[in-house]
Chain A
Amino acid sequence: MFKENYKKLYDQIRVDDKMENILINRVSDLSKNSKSKQINYRYVLSMCGVFLVLLFTVYQVISNTNNSNKTINSSDYYTKEPNVINQPSYLPFEEQDYKIDLKGNSYSISYFNNQENLTYIKKNIGSDLVLDELVLVNHNNVDYYFKSYDYSDCVCWQDSEFAHELSLSYAISIDEWFKVIESFN
């Protein structure tokens, strides 16, 4: 009995023609507005994307320009550990034969195995020293490439390709480096 009466009650609630027309018009209008809003959002989002890409490109260009002109503070490199690689892709120098002239003296760069030499030996070196060329040093079966960065510091890489690109991953000061060399003589 309740069910029938409940149905009778709710049967009176219905969408009449007037309501139907109003609904169709309203819903059509609202959905059109919402679609145009969606398009606007898409447009704004795509513009944001383009802007971000442009910003990133500009940042990269500026960053590359700065890097090429950058004066690298050697202290930055002291804190960095060298990347350990098993074998460089190629060896630019014959390490046994290579010689470098420092203060008019020739030093042969060869194998050395004393880690301590790399870390704590200090010596004052004249500021007129320039190491123009890459020097390969093998230490504990790891190749290191040295090159003067400026008049007082020497930079060191383990990867020959990195060295050629002047991408710096590790550095020691030239006095440390020089002391290491000196210790072999």
Chain B
Amino acid sequence: MDNETLKEVIHNYGDSILRMAYSYLHNIDDAQDILQETLLKYIEKHPYFESDQHQKAWLLRVSCNLAKNFLRDNKVNKRDDLSIDTFSSNTEEDLSYIWSIVKCLPSKYSEVIHLYYYEEYNVKEMSQILHRNEITIRSQLKRAKDKLKVLLEKED
């Protein structure tokens, strides 16, 4: 695979992979490592994709798995090197409360929240990416939303 193709993959899907990894690891360096590993897997496997959506879903699934493996192997707790200040200083409004809420969610909830709110996948697509039953995804999403609601109320 040439550098141009790699560049294209990074350009098209790099941000999504990085964000997905970040939603698990909460550390930009670790998320970058996961992005790198995902790209290596992509080069190694060189899978056939039916569509761009399929390609993106594959890359996200790989990054999810790698991030979970990373968490398991390193037994890291969620680290927060990209501090609340870093986010809030870059934006006009204070988003630090979002950050603190997201951090409180278990990874099984944060991943569905991320795929649902940020990537705007539906339940069926999420079940394919996460290799979980649709009913499980639906119930995890509901629980995650309930938990978010409680946390948001507390924040207020």
Contact = CB atoms under 8 A, between A and B. Distances in A.
Interface string A14-42: 11000110011011101100100000000
A90 interface: no
A68 B15 CA distance: 73
B135 to A, nearest CB: 23
Interface string B1-41: 10100110011001100110011000010011001100110
Interface residues of B, number: 36
Contact of A10 (B19, B36, B44): B19
Would you call the interface of chain B mostly helix, strand, loop, or mixed?
A: helix
Nearest to A19: B32
B1 A31 contact: yes
B48 interface: no
B15 A13 contact: yes
B58 interface: no
Given A6-B98, A14-B18, A27 B40 contact: yes
Contact of A2 (B14, B15, B39, B152): B152
29 contacts: A3-B117, A5-B93, A6-B102, A6-B117, A6-B118, A7-B118, A9-B87, A9-B95, A10-B22, A10-B114, A10-B118, A13-B15, A14-B15, A14-B18, A15-B10, A15-B15, A15-B18, A15-B35, A20-B7, A23-B10, A23-B14, A23-B36, A24-B6, A24-B7, A27-B6, A27-B40, A28-B3, A28-B6, A31-B44
Contact of B3 (A5, A15, A24, A34): A24
Interface string B35-73: 110011001100000000000000000000000000000
B90 interface: yes
Contacts of B148: 2
- The residue among A27, A28, A34 with the most chain B CB atoms within 10 A of its own CB is A27
A2 to B, nearest CB: 7
Given A13-B31, A20-B14, A27-B40, 4 more contacts: A8-B93, A24-B6, A27-B6, A30-B36
B99 interface: yes
A36 B40 CA distance: 14
B116 to A, nearest CB: 9
Contacts of A31: 1, 40, 43-44
A27 B6 CA distance: 9
A5 B91 CA distance: 11
Contacts of A27: 6, 36, 39-40, 43
A9 B110 CA distance: 14
A12 interface: yes
Interface string B63-99: 0000000000000000000100001001101010011
Nearest to A27: B39
B39 to A, nearest CB: 5
B50 to A, nearest CB: 24
A12 B22 CA distance: 11
Contacts of A3: 117
Contacts of B39: 23, 27
A10 B14 CA distance: 13
Given A12-B90, A31-B44, A34-B40, A5 B7 contact: no
